[in-house]
């Protein structure tokens, strides 16, 4: 699989859409085609990887030029993000009135996120991060609602700050080692002294932590989830957060870090999880609740990754991303963009039973009910964490799971409440959206019962992560 297509084609389409007349059907057609293409390509590519491959860009020899790396790990993440994108596109199909530049913006966003994952160069990562963020800023406000501008503004400022820190970090790295290529850097990392290595490493991690919604850099996130239209926040939860997580764990494996760093990040992860869950419990708006839960979920992933449960974390990432995307989308369609506080949600299953079912399956997957996918991944995380003897953290995780289970069940209870009559009868969504989301929901249940295929992918990805030698060899050793 040639990763350049994953970036070039969306980018090209974006420019194309700028030029062509702004017709809704045109936009939709192009976006859908590209999304389908990238998804199929990524899945096909994923199943065909034997070893990691590096593709240099523009003819520059690595490690001087930029390269894209495809191995099981990056392919796994690319697949996750493509699927999220595809689901979003289909779900919003007849519902989201494409604003003037939404098509183009979505394409640049897709290209950028793919770039974030596939790149092998630190500065390139920065570039793609910025492109993704800027596209997102615009997309978040296409459908302006109360507070979305302010929330985006907060996000913008924090993002800029974090990126600046990152740039300084890059500068320091370049000064010390003379290279910005990740593989090359992993060879030369030892050059940096112990003390500054920690600082530089943390500086590099800062925007990634922000993207991956880890406390205390996630303070912007819940507001965005709560105020912006859920169709776009799915892109945030299902694409940006996993991409940030990918970059984080890639850097972790390539660059050695001290135990203190790992411990502090572990503490941050646990804090993210606990604070996220406890606050989510108190939220009355479903979108905010999902936002906090999403934040907490990222905390769980980081905690698992740092506690020797990487395979489980990757599997869980897949499940979480799928579930979150499905939930945000179904909430959007269920409430038709209107009020989403728990009280007004009562009995909405009558309005749109399919979406209610989809929401329920996503909710139960995250909550970890047996028969749903999230349960299997949680089990693996738990067993690996216990094996590593992290008893107390596991207990905290269990506490967070209890809280999570409770508020998700509460939300589903309200949706399926039969004790209220709601105004208006059935309001079914576009058949294509319903079909796609139902397929996703059924896939969640299917993975809950037969998780073997996804687990195998996660396992291969985890092995690719730890196999630093292969990564480096693919980049530096051959071209």
Partner 1 sequence: MCPFGTISSFSFSLLIISPLIYLLARFDRRWASAFLALASGLGLYKLATMYGEWGLPSQSFEIIPNVTISFTNSPIQWYFAFIGLGIMLTIFLFEISWLSKSRTPSAHIFFEAVILASLPGFFMAGDLMTLYIFFELMSWAAFFIVSQASEKSEKAARTFIAMNTTGAMALLYVLFLLYTRFSTLNIEELRTLLPSAGAGFNLIIFALFVFSGLIKAGSFPLHTWLRKTHGNAPDSFSAVLSGYLIKYGSFVVAVTTVIFPSLLLFSNAPHFMGLPLPNYILAVLGGVSIIVGTLMAIKQQDAKMLIAYSSVSHAGYIVMALAMVSSYSVAGGLLHVLVHALAAAGMFLSMAAVKYRTGTTNMSELGGLVDRMPVTFATYLISIISTAGIPPMVGFVSKWLIYQSTITGGFIFLSFAAFFGSIGSFLYVFRPLATVFFGQRPKRLENVREVPFIMQLPMIIISALTVIFGVLPSIALKPIAEAERYYGIKPVSFSFSEIRGALGSWNSVLVFFVFMLGFIMAAVIFYLARKSVRVGLLENYTAGEIPREIINSPELYHYAHNFYRPVERLYEHHPSLEDFYETALGENLKKFGVFLKTLFYNHRLDWYLYVSILTILFLWWLL
State CA 289 to chain mean position distance: 17
User: In terms of CB distance, is 95 or 405 closer to partner 1?
Assistant: 405
The C-alpha atoms of residue 268 and residue 245 are separated, in whole angstroms, by: 14
The C-alpha atoms of residue 274 and residue 272 are separated, in whole angstroms, by: 6
The interface region with partner 1, picked from 84-92, 131-139, 167-175, 405-413 by CB under 8 A, is 405-413
Name which of residues 123 to 162 contact partner 1 (CB under 8 A).
Answer: 150-151, 154, 157-158
State CA 53 to chain mean position distance: 23
Structure tokens at 19: 């030029």
Quote the least distance from Cβ 104 to partner 1, whole Å.
30
Is residue 282 at the binding interface for partner 1, with CB under 8 A as the rule? yes
Binder of partner 1 out of 25, 419, 425, 426 (CB under 8 A): 419
Quote the least distance from Cβ 241 to partner 1, whole Å.
17
User: In terms of CB distance, is 250 or 376 closer to partner 1?
Assistant: 376
Count CB-CB contacts under 10 A for residue 157.
11
Quote the least distance from Cβ 265 to partner 1, whole Å.
9
Closest CA to 77 of 309, 246, 276: 246
The C-alpha atoms of residue 307 and residue 381 are separated, in whole angstroms, by: 9
Interface mask (CB under 8 A) for partner 1, residues 160-199, using x and -? ----------------------------------------
Structure tokens at 438: 């139902």
Binder of partner 1 out of 219, 336, 468, 473 (CB under 8 A): 219
Length of the chain: 479
The C-alpha atoms of residue 236 and residue 27 are separated, in whole angstroms, by: 21
Is residue 323 at the binding interface for partner 1, with CB under 8 A as the rule? no
The percent of the chain in helix, strand and coil, each rounded to the nearest 5, is 75, 5, 20
User: In terms of CB distance, is 311 or 340 closer to partner 1?
Assistant: 311
Structure tokens at 159: 């993002």
Structure tokens at 116: 């974030």
User: In terms of CB distance, is 4 or 164 closer to partner 1?
Assistant: 164
Is residue 281 at the binding interface for partner 1, with CB under 8 A as the rule? yes
Quote the least distance from Cβ 204 to partner 1, whole Å.
15
Binder of partner 1 out of 29, 40, 371, 428 (CB under 8 A): 371
The C-alpha atoms of residue 57 and residue 67 are separated, in whole angstroms, by: 5
Binder of partner 1 out of 223, 287, 351, 460 (CB under 8 A): 223
- The tally of CA atoms less than 13 A away on the side-chain side of residue 238 is 28
List residues binding partner 1 (CB under 8 A): 150-151, 154, 157-158, 215-217, 219-220, 222-223, 260, 263-264, 267-268, 275, 278-282, 364, 369-371, 376, 379-380, 382-383, 386-387, 389, 391, 394-395, 398-399, 401-403, 405-406, 409-410, 413, 416-419
């Amino acid at each position: 699989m040639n990763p350049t297509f994953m970036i070039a084609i969306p980018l090209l389409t974006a420019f194309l859409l700028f030029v062509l007349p702004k017709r809704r059907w045109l936009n939709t057609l192009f976006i859908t085609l590209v999304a389908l293409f990238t998804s199929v390509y990524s899945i096909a590519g994923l199943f065909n990887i034997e070893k990691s491959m590096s593709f240099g860009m523009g003819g520059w020899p690595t490690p001087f030029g930029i390269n894209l790396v495809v191995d099981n790990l990056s392919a796994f993440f690319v697949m996750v993000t493509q699927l999220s994108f595809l689901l979003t596109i289909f779900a919003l199909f007849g519902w989201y009135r494409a604003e003037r530049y939404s098509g183009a913006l979505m394409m640049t966003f897709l290209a950028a996120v793919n770039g974030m994952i596939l790149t092998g160069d630190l500065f390139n990562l920065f570039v793609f991060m910025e492109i993704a963020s800027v596209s997102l800023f615009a997309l978040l406000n296409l459908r302006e609602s109360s507070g979305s501008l302010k929330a985006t503004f907060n996000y913008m400022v924090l993002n800029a700050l974090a990126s600046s820190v990152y740039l300084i970090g890059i500068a320091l790295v370049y000064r010390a080692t003379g290279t910005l290529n990740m593989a090359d850097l992993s060879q030369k990392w030892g050059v940096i002294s112990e003390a500054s290595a920690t600082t530089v490493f943390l500086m590099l991690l800062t925007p990634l932590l922000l993207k991956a919604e880890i406390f205390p850099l996630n303070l912007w996130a819940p507001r965005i989830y709560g105020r912006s239209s859920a169709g776009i926040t799915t892109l945030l939860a299902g694409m940006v957060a996993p991409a940030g997580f990918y970059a984080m764990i890639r850097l972790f494996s390539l660059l050695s870090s001290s135990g203190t760093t790992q411990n502090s990040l572990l503490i941050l992860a646990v804090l993210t999880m606990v604070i996220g869950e406890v606050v989510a419990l108190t939220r009355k708006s479903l979108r905010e609740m999902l936002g906090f839960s999403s934040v907490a979920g990222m905390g769980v992933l980081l905690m698992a990754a740092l506690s020797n449960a990487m395979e489980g974390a990757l599997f869980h990432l897949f499940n979480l991303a799928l579930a979150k995307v499905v939930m945000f989308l179904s909430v959007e369609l269920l409430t038709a963009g209107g009020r989403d506080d728990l009280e007004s949600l009562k009995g909405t299953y009558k309005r749109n039973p399919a979406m209610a079912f989809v929401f329920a399956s996503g909710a139960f997957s995250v909550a970890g009910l047996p028969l749903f996918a999230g349960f299997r991944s949680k089990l693996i995380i738990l067993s690996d964490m216990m094996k590593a003897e992290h008893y107390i953290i596991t207990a905290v995780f269990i506490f967070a799971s209890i809280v999570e289970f409770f508020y998700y069940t509460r939300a589903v209870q309200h949706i399926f409440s039969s004790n209220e009559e709601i105004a208006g009868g059935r309001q079914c969504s576009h058949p294509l959206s319903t079909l796609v989301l139902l397929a996703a929901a059924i896939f969640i249940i299917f993975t809950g019962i037969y998780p073997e295929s996804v687990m195998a992918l996660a396992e291969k990805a985890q092995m690719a992560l730890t196999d630093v030698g292969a990564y480096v060899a693919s980049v530096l050793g051959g071209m």
